[in-house]
Amino acid sequence: MLDSNRRTDRSTDAGLYAEIAVAASNVRGDRSFHYSVPNEFTDRIYPGQLVTVEFGNRLLHGVVLSVANSSPVYSTKPVLDIISDAILIDPGRLELARWVARNYGAPLGLLIETMLPPRLSKYIKHYYAADPSSNYEEKLSAVEAKTLKKLTVLGPSAYETLEKSIGKSCVKSLSHLVSTGVVRRWTELEMPEIGSQFVRMVSSPRQLKHDLCQLKRAPKQAELLRVLARRATDVPVKELLAECRASRSSLMALIDRGLVTVNRQFRLPQRVTKEDDVLQGPDLDAWNSIEAFLDRDGHAVSVLLGADADRLAVYIAAIEKVVAGGGKVMVIAPTEHEAESLFNSIASNVSAYVVLMTNSSTVSTKLGVWRSIRSGEVDVVVGPGYAVYAPMTRLALVIIDHEEDRSYKERRGARAHLRQVGIRAARIRRAAVILGSETPSIETFDNVEKERYRLILMSSAGQLRRARMRVGRGWGAHGPAGVVDVVDMRVAPLMGHGGVLSEELFYALQDCMQQKGRAVLFVNRRGAASLTVCRDCGFSFKCPDCSMYLVHHNRSSSLVCHTCNHRKSLPKNCPDCRSTRLRFWGYGTEAVVNSLKALFPTIRIGRLDSDVAPGVASTVAESFEIGATQILVGTSYIFRFASKLSSDLLGIVQADVGIGFPDYTAPERVFQSLMRLRRKVLGGQIDGRMVIQTLFPEHPVMLATSSGSYLKYFRSEIQSRIAHGFPPASRMVRFLYSNKDGEKAREEAHRLAENLKSASKVSHKGFRILGPAPCFISRERRLYRWHLVVSGDEEEVCSLLQIPHRGWVIDVDPVDLL
DNA sequence: AGCACGCCGACT
DNA sequence: GTCGGCGTGCTC
């Protein structure tokens, strides 16, 4: 009788041991666990396999990381079962999972879970059966005896079935029954059948005549068989029945006769074949560089700088080349939406097997896509950030488009930066990386400057550089230079109500309207007012659950919290002193529209932000595109309609560089979005004009923006990052703690600070601890928030990630500190 | 997740 | 003394 739960002592048993990543999502960091391998598994256990193990008193699955003849742990539990012999995660991806877990302090189990087929844990079933060969001498408790008796009657059953038929308390006695050997336990992987049904002919075509003879009195069945024979392949059930105008019963009869079989087959979703994008070939200089780059052996990163369409041409040529050489390609985009449009362009321009990884497809499609990629039949995977975890083998090229996009930084889960994960994935498999951008991120360009990445400038950028050189400006913004005016809003004369428009922007708009032109006004806030104040007692409306002020929205006459979406209607009187004199400070899109309406009563004005219903939004955009609307006021939401924004005037109502906010990437974001706006709005206009209203005209990023010089911007920004110890100058970790009780949050934050400080004494090395302090958003959704920010070198900082207990959120290289 | 262990206050 | 609630940390 085998006691499957016995522990193994290393001293007495020189057997085989497996290092396992257990699917427990709260073991932080890259910690793994060691289990002994029973003799029955020694010749079939491999890294990447899925196994069942006991963890604490839970039954969990895990993935084998390595197999060795010794274990660093004295006493080990046994591997209980190999769930399937398939290698679900290849060694390269195991290494990637470990790297992410270590560098971001994320649970290794979480990474493993994201790499396994979707929803895999739902398909793992634990089975129990009474072992008839075992004798019942053991002293069983009443409950155990009852469980055993029921199990004998039921036969082998899954845990879920047992739970239903014998109840929770009996089910708990199972583990003891297993350890005494009276009950056997094993695991099965029951993956759902996926794909649609296909009909297959059983006999050979030569036998067709003979088969048809027996169907003389069944014309429909004969017809089905004839069509099937003519097609000479498996035919989808639906298609076959439609073609023969037959019903399901005829098909069932054919199956009963044993003439056909029906099986499920997964076919990848058909690619969307729109009219092919008219693509010019990639520009020669850039392509020569990329080609040479791809020809060199091993891992290297190159930054491709150019306009969207130009980069796409290079991507496609690069994919063709790599696939022709037998390599696989990953194409990563910041959002699902962008991934889909990249997929459409690539799939219709490349002669390779291209699939789109998306969350919006059905579960079975996702599973099918995962399998197809794993099997190696797929050449190119296109997807949003998480597609860097796709199960690709023979990976030769990773393309990360819009590498500067902030959405690559995950805001939940592992909180990894998926651009960095993609680069690491390529490095592990010695694949090449192309980072595509029009305005590279500070981190990426820093790597260019330090000669870790190579810069490839496309002619669209190169031409601009030449044009700019003549007027003494650097490269970096695309499209004609145009005129840029920066208005100092602290001293500028204002027009209209609400302090929204400067005279300069007003006259620019007036000019533009008189010449029947169009204008885009960019505002960085939705709603009407950022602060609603009582003019008599000074009362201001705050969110009851957060530390934020409520924003007034005109349309619904309500007050909205932009952090938690708490809403209430705007009262007529001040809740404190009953005064009716409520005043609105600051402005958003609504206030700008109202102010403009008063100044330009005859002009049609459109508004585009996330408050506008999605269906209405595209109408607004189209109406602007055809000229029915002359002024468009919007937030960054307008980028969704980037192709419809072409205008003569671009007004930035308030360029806020985030001074006074703990958001060190704010200047980067301002530069990025203003440059992008300028390309999208004024790109085609020789005489295009841009007016930037700002309270900080002397801020280096404002100066760089007005001259359109990327280098100027980069220099000033990297200087400030170095000065403050922000990434990429050093590694930074933010430890965040939230609690209903503000005092408790404060205490906990101080406790962690002490723990971190003593850790620094142990290791002698230095790192800087900022705080503990309440966060800028000190209360959110009824929780008080405290944080600690640590910066130092990579090695040092990684060692701190394990210290905080559960409840702490760890954010490595956060994008803001709000 | 779920259990053990330890600390502290309230009770026999 | 001892019981039990809760917070914390561990699971090979």
pLDDT in tens, A780-789: 888 888 899 9
**DSSP one-letter code for A249:** H
Confidence (pLDDT) at A270: 64
CB of A171 within 7 Å of some strand B atom:
no
Gap from A145 CA to C5 C1', Å: 35
Q: Mark residues 33-72 of chain A whose C-beta is closer than 7 A to nucleic acid strand B.
A: 56-58
- Using the predicted structure, report yes or no on whether residue A684 has a pLDDT greater than 70: no
Confidence (pLDDT) at A360: 87
Average pLDDT over every residue of A130-153: 78
User: Which residue is it, tokens 């503000």?
Assistant: A742
CB of A472 within 7 Å of some strand B atom:
no
Confidence (pLDDT) at A98: 95
Q: Is the dihedral of CA A237, A240, A245, A247 positive or negative?
A: negative
A517-537, pLDDT tens digit by residue? 999 999 876 655 667 888 888
Longest dimension (CA), chain A: 100
Average pLDDT over every residue of A614-623: 89
Out of A42-56, A133-147, A157-171, A416-430, least confident range: A133-147
Bond from prior residue into A774 cis (ω within 30 degrees of 0): no
Q: Helix (H, G, I), strand (E, B), or coil: what is residue A446?
A: helix
How does the average pLDDT of chain A come out, rounded?
85
DSSP string, A607-676: EESTTS-HHHHHHHHHHHHTTSS-EEEE-GGGGGGGGG---SEEEES-----TTSS-TTHHHHHHHHHHH
What pLDDT band is residue A166 in, cutting at 50, 70 and 90?
confident
Residues whose CB is below 7 A of strand C: A 24, 26-27, 33-35, 54-56, 58, 71, 73, 75-77, 748, 805-807
Confidence (pLDDT) at A666: 86
Average pLDDT over every residue of A127-136: 80
Give the integer Cα–Cα distance in Å for A386 and A422. 9
Confidence (pLDDT) at A629: 92
Gap from A806 CA to B2 C1', Å: 15
Of the candidates A420, A418, A347, A333, the one whose C-alpha atom is nearest the C-alpha of residue A378 is A347
A538-558, pLDDT tens digit by residue? 788 888 877 778 888 877 788
- Using the predicted structure, report yes or no on whether residue A134 has a pLDDT greater than 80: no
Gap from A741 CA to B11 C1', Å: 29
What pLDDT band is residue A476 in, cutting at 50, 70 and 90?
very low
Nucleotides, chain C, CB distance < 7 Å: 8-12
Q: Are A37 and A16 in contact (CB under 8 A)?
A: yes
Average pLDDT over every residue of A238-251: 84
Nucleotides, chain B, CB distance < 7 Å: 1-3
Confidence (pLDDT) at A583: 79
What pLDDT band is residue A147 in, cutting at 50, 70 and 90?
confident
Confidence (pLDDT) at A13: 55
pTM for this model (two decimals): 0.88
- Using the predicted structure, report yes or no on whether residue A30 has a pLDDT greater than 50: yes
CB of A25 within 7 Å of some strand B atom:
yes
Using the CA of A7, give the nucleotide whose C1' is nearest. Answer: C12
Question: What six digits make up the tokens of A34?
Answer: 């060691």
Q: Are A474 and A712 in contact (CB under 8 A)?
A: yes
Confidence (pLDDT) at A685: 60
Average pLDDT over every residue of A641-646: 86
- Using the predicted structure, report yes or no on whether residue A472 has a pLDDT greater than 50: no
Confidence (pLDDT) at A400: 98
Confidence (pLDDT) at A375: 93
A745-786, pLDDT tens digit by residue? 888 888 888 888 877 766 666 678 887 888 888 888 888 888
Confidence (pLDDT) at A258: 81
Confidence (pLDDT) at A278: 54
Percentage of the residues of chain A whose pLDDT score is greater than 70: 91
Q: Are A548 and A785 in contact (CB under 8 A)?
A: no
Which of A273-287, A470-484, A532-546: highest mean pLDDT? A532-546
- Using the predicted structure, report yes or no on whether residue A165 has a pLDDT greater than 90: no
Confidence (pLDDT) at A782: 84
Out of A348-357, A456-465, A718-727, least confident range: A456-465
Gap from A55 CA to C10 C1', Å: 10
Gap from A738 CA to B11 C1', Å: 35
Give the integer Cα–Cα distance in Å for A525 and A730. 32
Q: Are A707 and A504 in contact (CB under 8 A)?
A: no
The count of C-alpha atoms lying within 13 angstroms of the C-alpha of A66, restricted to the half-sphere facing its C-beta, is: 10
Residue of A568 and A9 predicted with greater confidence: A568
- Using the predicted structure, report yes or no on whether residue A41 has a pLDDT greater than 90: yes
A93-106, pLDDT tens digit by residue? 999 999 999 999 99
